[in-house]
């Protein structure tokens, strides 16, 4: 059976060019779409090298990894907010529209929390599920706001992540419909430390959504 190909392209969002990579199943209609964001030291190339894109496509999902403004292949683009401040929820909404994603699962590590959290609270109908991986900015929203979100979530963090692991979990656990994947012996970029465990946990969770 032919292996899924990872292709590269660009989209225009708010007048700026963003780079992305995607992979889709070869001989079937995708079960769902997964949008992968990334942390400040990373880009869509991380998900390519880790084989997350191809593993998702092999499992029957349409996987798209974008490079956030100012990073990776989107270096020329200007971010809609300074690092650590909340970006407008309309940014990811425009990304969804440019990629023609009706609804998707969003994987959001670290820095990308500034984009995904506003989107979660304002456009949860576009989210099939939310997979935060120790994101920043979780403390910027009150407990009651989390409690009002119905979207299924898989909260992922490494137990060696002293900086953001516990902090983000303590806020995100207020999402009523959540599961937790605590990766023992893994640091902040826990998916890099334990790629096999990451892929197994991710695919199990996605299967539960079908």
188 is a catalytic site residue: yes
Q: Which of 110, 112, 116, 168 is catalytic?
A: 110
CA atoms of 63 and 176, how far apart (whole Å): 26
43 has catalytic annotation? no
Q: Can you tell me the distance from the alpha carbon of 123 to that of 118, in angstroms, rounded to the nearest whole number?
A: 8
CA distances from 7 to 22, 75, 120, 140, 182 (A): 5, 19, 27, 36, 32
The verdict on whether 123 is a catalytic residue reads: no
Q: Which of 34, 30, 2, 31 is nearest to 21 (CA)?
A: 34
| Cα–Cα distance, 123 to 90 (Å, whole number) | 9
Residue 93 CB: number of other CB atoms within 10 A?
16
Q: What is the rounded distance in angstroms from the CA atom of residue 74 to the CA atom of residue 11?
A: 10
Catalytic residue, chosen from 112, 161, 168, 178, is 161
Structure tokens at 175: 């999402």
Tell me, what DSSP letter sits at residue 126? G
Q: Active-site residue numbers?
A: 110, 161, 188
């Amino acid at each position: 059976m032919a292996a899924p190909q990872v292709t590269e392209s660009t989209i225009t969002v708010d007048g700026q060019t963003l780079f992305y990579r995607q992979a889709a199943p070869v001989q079937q209609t995708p079960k769902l779409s997964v949008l992968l964001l990334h942390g400040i030291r990373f880009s869509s190339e991380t998900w390519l090298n880790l084989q997350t894109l191809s593993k998702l496509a092999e499992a029957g999902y349409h996987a798209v990894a974008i490079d956030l403004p100012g990073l990776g292949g989107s270096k020329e683009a200007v971010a809609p907010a300074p690092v650590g401040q909340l970006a407008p929820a309309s940014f990811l909404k425009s990304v969804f529209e440019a990629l023609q994603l009706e609804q998707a699962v969003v994987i959001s590590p670290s820095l990308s929390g500034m984009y995904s959290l506003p989107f979660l609270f304002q456009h949860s109908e576009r989210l099939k599920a939310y997979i935060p991986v120790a994101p920043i900015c979780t403390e910027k929203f009150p407990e009651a706001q989390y409690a009002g979100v119905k979207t299924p979530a898989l909260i992922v963090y490494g137990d060696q992540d002293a900086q953001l692991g516990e902090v983000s979990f303590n806020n995100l656990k207020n999402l009523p419909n959540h599961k937790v994947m605590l990766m023992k012996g893994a640091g902040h970029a826990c998916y890099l430390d334990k790629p096999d465990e990451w892929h197994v946990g991710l695919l199990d969770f996605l299967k539960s959504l079908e």
